């Protein structure tokens, strides 16, 4: 028989059950892939996650409120206004810090008489026109602390890559509920 005389094979129909199995398998594979990459991204975020203490406004910095779960704070009761972005030479009261964090801010704070370190930190903060603050914070136990909403990273030695990675990960993310 000549090639051109062949009858085309009839197309095999996929049953409804086979289509359902194929669609379900595809959905499961996609969900597992998305979940895996989301987990990897979350596991690779800088700093330590802290429980979110909400965003209650208080009238004054000395108004009674629940204790913060970190020092410096990362969420919780705060004043209804923010501190100016940029470099500060005086400590910022914790209830004021928290409102800046809620508005997408990152605070870089230090606990030392260390002009060389402060100048290096200042150089990083000046790269950003908004959403970053540098300030002393004498009560904290570590030499340097980075805070964002519900995240903290505290350490002793200057590490520019670590600081910039933290700032880039959290700066500008609004947390109003």
CATH architecture of the domain 48-170 equals 3-Layer(aba) Sandwich (3.40)
Q: pLDDT tens digits for 104-136? A: 999 999 999 999 999 999 999 999 999 999 999
Q: pLDDT tens digits for 75-99? A: 999 999 999 999 999 999 999 999 9
Residue carrying structure tokens 């402060």: 118
Q: pLDDT tens digits for 38-89? A: 444 455 899 999 999 999 999 999 999 999 999 999 999 999 999 999 999 9
* Cα distances (Å, whole numbers) of residue 86 to 22, 80, 129, 135: 55, 19, 7, 9
Write out the two tokens for 96: 């004021």
Residues linked to residue 155 through DSSP beta bridges, in sequence order: 144
Kind plus residue range of the DSSP H or E element containing 43: helix 16-43
Rounded to two decimals, the pTM is: 0.76
- Each domain of the chain, given as residue ranges in start order, spans 14-44, 48-170
Write out the two tokens for 94: 């914790």
Q: Are 163 and 108 within 8 A, CB to CB?
A: yes
* Cα distances (Å, whole numbers) of residue 19 to 22, 25, 69, 161: 5, 10, 52, 50
Write out the two tokens for 174: 């609004």
Rounded to whole angstroms, the Cα distance separating 166 from 43 reads 14
Q: Are 162 and 137 within 8 A, CB to CB?
A: no
């Amino acid at each position: 028989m000549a090639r051109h005389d062949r009858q085309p094979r009839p197309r095999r129909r996929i049953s409804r059950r086979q289509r359902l199995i194929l669609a379900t398998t595809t959905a499961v594979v996609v969900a597992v892939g998305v979940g895996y990459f989301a987990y990897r991204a979350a596991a690779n975020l800088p700093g330590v996650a802290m429980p979110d203490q909400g965003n209650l406004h208080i009238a004054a910095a000395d108004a009674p409120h629940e204790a913060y779960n970190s020092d410096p704070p990362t969420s919780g009761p705060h004043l209804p206004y923010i501190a100016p972005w940029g470099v500060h030479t005086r400590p910022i009261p914790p209830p004021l810090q928290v409102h800046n964090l809620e508005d997408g801010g990152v605070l870089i704070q230090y606990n030392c008489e260390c002009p060389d370190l402060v100048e290096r930190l200042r150089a990083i903060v000046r790269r950003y026109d908004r959403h970053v603050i540098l300030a002393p914070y004498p009560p904290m136990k570590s030499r340097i602390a980075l805070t964002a909403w519900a995240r903290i990273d505290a350490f002793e030695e200057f590490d520019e890559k670590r600081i910039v990675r933290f700032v880039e990960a959290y700066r500008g993310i609004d947390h109003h509920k």
